[in-house]
Structure 1
Amino acid sequence: MDIEAVERYGNRRIQHRIGSSQAAPDRGNSKVCFHWRAGRCTRFPCPFLHSELPQHSDGGAKRAAGSDERGFRSQGLVWRNSNTNGNSGPPSRWGKGRGGGAAGGIRPQRKALDKICNYFISGTCSYGEGCKYLHSWFLSDSISLLTPLNGHQKDVTGIALPTGSDKLYTGSKDETVRVWDCQTGQCIGVVNLGGEVGCMISEGPWIFVGVPNAIKAWNTQTATDLSLSGPTGQVYAMSVGNEMLFAGTQDGRILAWRFRAVGDCFEPAASLVGHRLPVVSMVVGAMRLYSGSMDHTVRVWDLSTLQCIQTLTDHTAVVMSVLCWDQFLLSCSLDMTIKVWVATESGNLEVTYTHQEEHGVLALCGMHDAQAKPVLFCSCNDNTVRLYDLPSFNERGKIFAKEEVRAIQIGPGGLFFTGDGTGELKVWKWLTSEVPAA
């Protein structure tokens, strides 16, 4: 891998937080917000409950949205989402903690108090603190922005942190991979590839970069530099499983290479055919490969036989991202939905919950916050990333960007990264305690 050194520069470490200078609201308050009931509460966070209080058998009441709703194995009522067929499939706990209380998981319409100032984004707002719109890159008391990393000229399409390396690698449609020093935040090298980076992943010390008609493979420990041929057109998605590398291509095929430790190389293993249009998302879990395509389907492949064992057809637009979490599969689409799938007794996947967004959904990423609670990152094509508690889908916060965020990557120590359509990379961190700051 030929790396062109670049001049070092200083990065200003900044932190933006929003909210009142007062203490955090008392979530022990058992009063239901009057304005929420009327569908017009604009406080975030609101000191009162945005959910109705279920009655105890003794006539008392308790909170409907508490800590018991935040884990995957929470206790409580089990209900079926109205978006699924009530006569088939397993029961679902997904979405039941969301404000609104309806079985369909439909949330009340929020006012645009969290609308970001477009002039702030461009750096030209003349109102300053007096502006009625938001001057911050995020709306949450759970995260902080550490620093932006600038250098790419077009969309960031991949972020990788290989094992055993103190470097961060980012790929872009500007036909380069940039290398960042994790200690200083400085760009220390640029790899010119001569083609747009469609995707990038890391597995152990290896970095895989999808470009038109090829995959570039680099071992950061041995300096091995390979080029895997076979793809036709752009490589949009990659995943690793069962000692094989899988690549989704523009012609709808999924190509597989098997890793050979002897010789530190990859040998062609298979070509999986079934999708009619480009494969744009993939993930491996529980000896299955899940692939999402522009043909609106998700295909399920058995990794032991490399045969397609099921085709999921519930989405009505491009399946942009797929994510495995515990025994669940999550998929998102430009049809403005996130679907949660679970296996029935027959082994087939069925939708157990459908989350509706107001915009097309581009990418999913899951991680645990500083309190080890599961959180879903959901990037939408309105230039935002929504944060949701799982399995309740209670909104946890929102991240704003200049353009669409296509790349989200988890890092060590509570760090995570987002890359947007302008080429800007941002470094974020979970706060150990949720305390709103002025």
Structure 2
Amino acid sequence: MDVDGGGNKRVFHRLGGPQSDPSKNQKVCFHWRAGKCNRHPCPFLHRELPPPPSQQGLNGTASSKRHHAFAATTDGPSARNRGPNNFNGGASSTWGRTGGTRVFVRKMEKVCNYWVQGNCSYGDKCKFLHCWSMGDSFSLLTQLDGHQKVVSGIALPSGSDKLYTGSKDQTVRVWDCQSGQCLGVINLGGEVGCMISEGPWVFVGIPDVVKAWNTQTNSELSLSGPVGQVYALVVGNDLLFAGTQDGSILAWKFNAVTNCFEPAASLKGHTLAVVSLVVGANRLYSGSMDHSIRVWSLETLQCIQTLTEHTSVVMSVLCWDQFLLSCSLDQQLKVWVATQSGNLEVTYTHKEEHGLITLCGMHDSEAKPVLLCACNDNTVRVYDLPAFSERGKIFSKEEIRSIQVGPGGLFFTGDGTGQVKVWKWVAEPAPTA
């Protein structure tokens, strides 16, 4: 996304200027919102109504409870199943229908470059955004600075009060969830391709190896076998799976007696790198640079179906109830459902204007299922499921490659600049009469 504050050729005429006529109808012009009002003068407003006074600012300091800390404790039921691997949003087979609800109104969807630099002279009158998001369902709590390159993984181990972030700057940073301070930097000697947590374990994929850390015992293991960069990791059926640069998927099983991970299998089939993995419905799903998705049985570890409807790299796969969601650089997000024969078929295709990088499923403050879709125009689209009605957008200086769900309505994003942002779902304001 270009965050330059100028160069937009589209001019919106503002009705009344700073001293609006109180006799004017205090409704926003429907045609102006659509960009095609031709009434001069128009009896309705050609500007958006101001947000409610309780809306959070960029630094999240409007509430003293959120100052510099995100308090992401990982105990209790809210911390379990927080990842997108088993995202459960309630069964529905009606995709892509808004039903007249949650139609997100677009404004000037560009962040003011002068505001980013801290010197915009227009203030509230600037026609560009002075915030890193649009939508009133979530707010930015704080940001964590330290990484020098793209953040490629975020993990919150169970029972720990630490947040782990991995980057292509070859480091893993450990953050205190109460203060937001960096407690340590681990130099790995290789770019972090991915990172997950399972129970007390943190797994980090780097070239030719997977690092495993037990945050409770402080033990460290190195799992050898991968060829090239490890791009994806997932745990299923007591196995750890790693998607690698040479197109194979390696599996290890933990041996509690020897306290180590033993090689269990090597899954072959993809012709290029495996960049996304997810487990659901007793299946392993793998997305690859060869444009395909392979479906593997977790019992036999055999490939039982190959999906070839995408025309570019399958960047992310996600399980949602009985559905599989996949996104690709071909600008398409596909929803798959199993037929009576057991094979997956596309039941809905959602198209974006830009390539899709990653998917993350979670629930909002009202426990409603929400899908976050990171695109390569430096934005994250926020959608309600299954309607795909847009309810917000997150902006960044560079692509957001990592999204992770936390407890208590928190979620985290990591971008190409190395910055990690902490967000929180908030209760939506009640409609006014």
Q: How does 1:220-231 map to 2 (within 5 A)?
A: 220-231=215-226
Could you list the runs of 5+ residues in structure 2 that have no partner in the other structure?
A: 1-26, 38-45, 52-88
1:217 maps to what in 2? 212
CA contact (8 A) 1:259 1:267 kept: yes
1:242 maps to what in 2? 237
Displacement, 1:32? 13
Displacement, 1:43? 7.4
2:94 maps to what in 1? 93
State how many pairs are aligned. 359
Structure 1 stretch displaced more, 234-243 or 260-269 = 260-269
CA contact (8 A) 1:290 1:301 kept: yes
CA contact (8 A) 1:40 1:111 kept: no
2:315 maps to what in 1? 320
Displacement, 1:126? 4.3
Displacement, 1:119? 3.3
Amino acid corresponding to residue 232 of structure 1 in structure 2: V
**CA separation in 2, counterparts of 1:156 and 1:171?**
6
Displacement, 1:330? 0.3
Displacement, 1:116? 1.6
Amino acid corresponding to residue 94 of structure 1 in structure 2: W
1:274 maps to what in 2? 269
Displacement, 1:219? 0.4
Displacement, 1:135? 0.8
* Aligned partner (choices 108, 111, 115) of residue 120 of structure 1: 115
**CA separation in 2, counterparts of 1:96 and 1:73?**
15
* Aligned partner (choices 157, 160, 167) of residue 162 of structure 1: 157
Displacement, 1:222? 1.2
Amino acid corresponding to residue 202 of structure 1 in structure 2: S
* Aligned partner (choices 403, 411, 427) of residue 398 of structure 2: 403
Instruction: Answer yes or no: is 1:189 the counterpart of 2:184.
Output: yes
What CA deviation, in whole Å up to 9, does each residue of 1:270-290 have, x standing for no partner? 111111110100001111000
Amino acid corresponding to residue 196 of structure 1 in structure 2: E
The 1:73–1:232 alpha-carbon spacing in structure 2 relative to 1, beyond 3 Å, is closer
Amino acid corresponding to residue 327 of structure 1 in structure 2: Q
The 1:349–1:120 alpha-carbon spacing in structure 2 relative to 1, beyond 3 Å, is same
CA RMSD for the aligned pairs?
A: 2.6
* Aligned partner (choices 138, 142, 148) of residue 133 of structure 2: 138
Instruction: Answer yes or no: is 1:428 the counterpart of 2:405.
Output: no
What CA deviation, in whole Å up to 9, does each residue of 1:360-416 have, x standing for no partner? 000000001010100000000110111000000000100111110000000000000
Q: Look up the SS of the partner of 2:300 in the other structure.
A: coil
**CA separation in 2, counterparts of 1:73 and 1:33?**
37
The sequence identity of aligned pairs, in percent, is 73
* Aligned partner (choices 310, 330, 334) of residue 335 of structure 1: 330
CA contact (8 A) 1:377 1:387 kept: yes
Q: How does 1:273-422 map to 2 (within 5 A)?
A: 273-422=268-417
1:252 maps to what in 2? 247
Q: Look up the SS of the partner of 1:120 in the other structure.
A: helix
* Aligned partner (choices 31, 35, 44) of residue 35 of structure 1: 31
**CA separation in 2, counterparts of 1:33 and 1:327?**
42
**CA separation in 2, counterparts of 1:43 and 1:272?**
56
1:77 maps to what in 2? none
Q: Look up the SS of the partner of 1:114 in the other structure.
A: coil
What CA deviation, in whole Å up to 9, does each residue of 1:51-92 have, x standing for no partner? xxxxxxxxxxxxxxxxxxxx7456xxxxxxxxxxxxxxxxx4
TM-score, structure 2 as length reference: 0.78
**CA separation in 1, counterparts of 2:244 and 2:266?**
11
Instruction: Answer yes or no: is 1:148 the counterpart of 2:129.
Output: no
Displacement, 1:124? 4.8
Displacement, 1:262? 1.5
Displacement, 1:98? 6.5
Q: Look up the SS of the partner of 2:271 in the other structure.
A: coil
The 1:338–1:240 alpha-carbon spacing in structure 2 relative to 1, beyond 3 Å, is same
2:168 maps to what in 1? 173
Displacement, 1:306? 0.5
The 1:127–1:291 alpha-carbon spacing in structure 2 relative to 1, beyond 3 Å, is same
Displacement, 1:35? 2.8
Q: Look up the SS of the partner of 1:116 in the other structure.
A: coil
1:79 maps to what in 2? none
Q: Look up the SS of the partner of 1:35 in the other structure.
A: helix
Could you list the runs of 5+ residues in structure 1 that have no partner in the other structure?
A: 1-30, 48-70, 75-91, 101-106
1:55 maps to what in 2? none
**Superposition misfits of 4+ residues, deviation over 2 angstroms:** 31-47, 71-74, 118-131, 432-436
Q: Look up the SS of the partner of 2:108 in the other structure.
A: helix
Amino acid corresponding to residue 283 of structure 1 in structure 2: V
Displacement, 1:132? 1.6
Q: Look up the SS of the partner of 1:412 in the other structure.
A: coil
Amino acid corresponding to residue 369 of structure 1 in structure 2: D
**CA separation in 2, counterparts of 1:125 and 1:406?**
29
The 1:429–1:96 alpha-carbon spacing in structure 2 relative to 1, beyond 3 Å, is same
Displacement, 1:433? 3.1
CA contact (8 A) 2:162 2:174 kept: yes
**CA separation in 1, counterparts of 2:117 and 2:231?**
30
Structure 1 stretch displaced more, 32-41 or 165-174 = 32-41
